[in-house]
Chain A
Amino acid sequence: MRSSKRNRFYFFLSLILLILVLSLLADYIMPFGPYDQNLSMALRPPDSVHWLGTDRYGRDMLSRTLSGARTTVCTALAVALAASSFGAFIGLICGYHKGKATTLLLRLTDVFLAFPSMVFAIAVAGILGGGTFNAAAAIAAVAWPKYTRLVRNQVLPLHHEYYIEAARMSGFSPLKILLVQILPEIIGPVLITAALDIGTIITEIAGLSFLGLGAAPPAAEWGSMMSGARNLLQTAPWTIFVPGAAIFITVAIFQLFADSLRDLADSKTPR
């Protein structure tokens, strides 16, 4: 049982590494420039030259999708990293130190958690204005509170463990206790949650761009590519299916990877 779980994990890990390599090396493997218009080649269906067809400006869909992978995947990873570390840090403090300030912080996370996240992200992105960075900031601003909750709930029971007491009596500073004694104990669930979150973040980034609140044309970004090709759905379906499939496949891989990671972690620590 263990080994099949491990195989599954390595399988999806290798797929993720493949996506990362493809997106990082996009500039070198793209057959065409993602922004090079060639109107005489507009709206060509997939063929031997343009493997995934061209869009209405005659730009190569494969090149644009690869170039979009970097925008989307790297942004999603950065958002997941930023939101989880920030949320976890606040969670550590809230779990370890009880006081009016931390209670206030916790109530704040409740407010954030009470909103449907996409609606909140749309509001934030709307206020900040368009752009990939602003969209990422909006999603990060919505994603962090669940880490705070998660970490705080993990930290609370550790509070009166003997080894924490011992560390405290040895004169360790609270920061050192948090980072050296507590963090390694609770990092597992945070990583799994973050991994599970990446898929959601990718759809949210694409969603905001689709709505015109993220990457703006002519940027090669999956959501914005789908939005631009919306009215070609019936006449040139590849222009919308290609970025759509890219989102679907990437999100599925990240989700299955996170699943396998969780399964592996569960089997390591039987309850």
Chain B
Amino acid sequence: MNNKFKYLLTALLGAALLVSGCGSDAGKTAKEEGKVFHYGTMAYGPAMQNASTDPHDTYCGWSTIRYGVGETLFKFDNEMNVQPWLAESYEQIDDHTLKIKLRDDITFSNGKQVTGDAVKACLEDLIRRNDRAPHDLKINQITADGQTVTIHSSEKVPALIHYLADPYSAIIDMEAGIKDRIAVGTGPYVAVKVTDQGMELKKNDQYWGQTKPKLDKIVVRSITDGDSLSMAMQSGELDAVQGLPYASLPNFQDTGRYTISSTATSRVYQAAMNFQTPALQDNRVRKAIAMALDKDTFVNVLLNGNGVAATGAFPNTMPYGRGLNGPGYDPEQAKTLLKEAGYTGTNSDGYVTKDGQPLTLRWLTYTSRQELPLLAEYAQSALKDIGIKLDVNATDNYKDFLKRGEYDIYAQAIVTAPTGDPEYYLMSKIYSGQPYNNGNYSNPRTDAMIDELHNTFDAGKRIELARQIQQQVLDDNAVWYASFLKMNIVMKKNVTGFSAHPCDYYEITPELDIQ
């Protein structure tokens, strides 16, 4: 082979590689399948424990609800208030008894009517098979009579109707059973094929709602790599995507071609201070840390504005997330606080010292939420400015470190109000001695208020209590709240009736359409 030929061949090969990298959406012909909607998501798959439409299996209910297969007795509106859905009304008979009246015009996708008996059978299967539901619902007995269902709880459960709106409470036909991960629900779409990689849905021709489903077929594809998802959307393979990395969003700024729908969810990025750490037992040190970190810059720059700076544990789209006061960004004040706390010296690296010892803290976090390593790296630099040395440990073995107590600050992302009710978060993350109270925070006043919340049915009173508890947590600087995740859905311009909902599990609805 002579040299010229070699160069020519190399050049050709290079050109071929370049061209093959730039796919285009031209030349695709829609088959005569009617309206087909291709949906790419990062939130589906065995790793998320939701690769099925059987709502009673771990977190699979999220898929049942998300993709329009099933519906719950109650649902959340955009402010996360509970509204009836399959239920028509409910009545709290006494502290332990809830009577629910069902609508009488609802059928499963196989044509069978949804009756009290069907709901009873479904809920009984739920508490038999699901790992979280029995603990949440505390159901003692269910009785059915025509279109009414009465639930008797074993103890007071003020948030019962919230739990009945949790995806695991999706109502499915137990007589039809679950075959190949396909459950028969009441939703606008029917699952046809469900695999680890995604699912295929078709229109439910017998849908009971006023708005009838408009698409003939929906293909849900699990794409867990952000860049692949972004490229699939850019090439036109997909009509809409959920969960794109923030860094990819600028690719879809062209409003002539794409629509981006986003909303703040109750997934909060928070850092819990470990009260077992001697240095962090001083509130001035904890406050200094809180004041050294600038939430607005974190959100605007590192998250490209795709987040909402947080004050407390709940976003201000929810009533109990409003009216709170936390320490603001003020690094000078933070330095003063450290001095007051006895950190008066400075070592050769520029870190503050107390009795000659530099203030070094271990920041534990994990990487599966892409924003957490960003937060860690930002915190490391920001705390250095006030003289605190941060050793970042971003590991997916974080559970081992939690177990061994080898951390001073634990940063994580957590959904604080999955069912629109504040009690779950406050009870599991703030109450003394709870296994998920990673900061080992304990304040009898806070505990007493959480106990009171647990025994209060009145909605207004619950909101007030939830606020007071969070304010106490903020005054104690036990947890630093960075920001709330903004969930985004990017869709082609011709997609209508699709928007992001604050609770993260209402995605495909009968309104969804392609123009």
**Dominant SS among interface residues on chain A:** loop
Is B121 among interface residues, defined by CB-CB distance under 8 A? Answer: no
Find out whether the CB atom of A234 lies under 8 angstroms from the CB atom of B248: yes
Return chain B residues, CB-CB under 8 Å to A216: 394
Measured CA separation A44–B378 after assembly (Å): 18
Is A173 among interface residues, defined by CB-CB distance under 8 A? Answer: no
CB distance from A237 to the nearest CB of B (A): 12
CB distance from B378 to the nearest CB of A (A): 7
Measured CA separation A39–B251 after assembly (Å): 21
Find out whether the CB atom of A230 lies under 8 angstroms from the CB atom of B227: yes
Is B297 among interface residues, defined by CB-CB distance under 8 A? Answer: yes
As a 0/1 sequence over residues 214 to 228 of chain A, the CB contacts with chain B under 8 angstroms (1 = contact) are 001110000000000
Q: Interface size class for chain A?
A: 10 to 19
Return chain B residues, CB-CB under 8 Å to A42: 301-302
Is B230 among interface residues, defined by CB-CB distance under 8 A? Answer: yes
Find out whether the CB atom of B248 lies under 8 angstroms from the CB atom of A57: no
Is B226 among interface residues, defined by CB-CB distance under 8 A? Answer: yes
- With A233-B227, A235-B247, A235-B250 already in contact, the answer to whether A57 and B297 are too (CB < 8 A) is no
Measured CA separation A58–B382 after assembly (Å): 13
Measured CA separation A233–B225 after assembly (Å): 14
Find out whether the CB atom of B381 lies under 8 angstroms from the CB atom of A37: yes
Is B380 among interface residues, defined by CB-CB distance under 8 A? Answer: yes
Name the one of A35, A39, A232 contacting B301, with C-beta atoms under 8 angstroms.
A39
- With A39-B297, A39-B301, A56-B302 already in contact, the answer to whether A231 and B245 are too (CB < 8 A) is yes
> Could you tell me how many residues of chain B have their Cβ less than 8 Å away from some Cβ of chain A?
21
Residue of B nearest to A59 (CB): B381
Interface residues of B in 373-419 (CB under 8 A from A): 373-374, 377-378, 380-382, 392, 394
As a 0/1 sequence over residues 231 to 258 of chain A, the CB contacts with chain B under 8 angstroms (1 = contact) are 1111110000000000000000000000
Name the one of A40, A56, A235 contacting B248, with C-beta atoms under 8 angstroms.
A235
Residue of B nearest to A56 (CB): B302
Measured CA separation A231–B229 after assembly (Å): 11
Measured CA separation A103–B474 after assembly (Å): 69
CB distance from A45 to the nearest CB of B (A): 13
Return chain A residues, CB-CB under 8 Å to B297: 39
- With A235-B250, A235-B251 already in contact, the answer to whether A218 and B227 are too (CB < 8 A) is no
Measured CA separation A216–B382 after assembly (Å): 18
Return chain A residues, CB-CB under 8 Å to B227: 230-231, 233
CB distance from B389 to the nearest CB of A (A): 13
Residue of A nearest to B393 (CB): A216
Find out whether the CB atom of A37 lies under 8 angstroms from the CB atom of B245: no
Find out whether the CB atom of B247 lies under 8 angstroms from the CB atom of A231: yes
Name the one of A35, A234, A235 contacting B381, with C-beta atoms under 8 angstroms.
A35
- With A217-B373, A218-B380, A231-B227 already in contact, the answer to whether A39 and B302 are too (CB < 8 A) is yes
Find out whether the CB atom of B377 lies under 8 angstroms from the CB atom of A218: yes
Return chain A residues, CB-CB under 8 Å to B245: 231
Return chain B residues, CB-CB under 8 Å to A218: 377, 380-381
As a 0/1 sequence over residues 22 to 52 of chain A, the CB contacts with chain B under 8 angstroms (1 = contact) are 0000000000000111011010000000000
Find out whether the CB atom of A37 lies under 8 angstroms from the CB atom of B251: no
Residue of A nearest to B367 (CB): A212
Residue of A nearest to B385 (CB): A37
Return chain B residues, CB-CB under 8 Å to A56: 247, 301-302, 374
Per CB-CB distance, the 3 closest pairs between chain A and chain B, nearest first, are A37-B381, A231-B247, A39-B301
- Contacts beyond the supplied A234-B251, A235-B247: 14 A-B pairs with Cβ under 8 Å: A35-B381, A42-B302, A56-B301, A57-B302, A57-B378, A217-B373, A217-B392, A217-B394, A218-B377, A231-B248, A231-B370, A233-B227, A234-B248, A235-B248
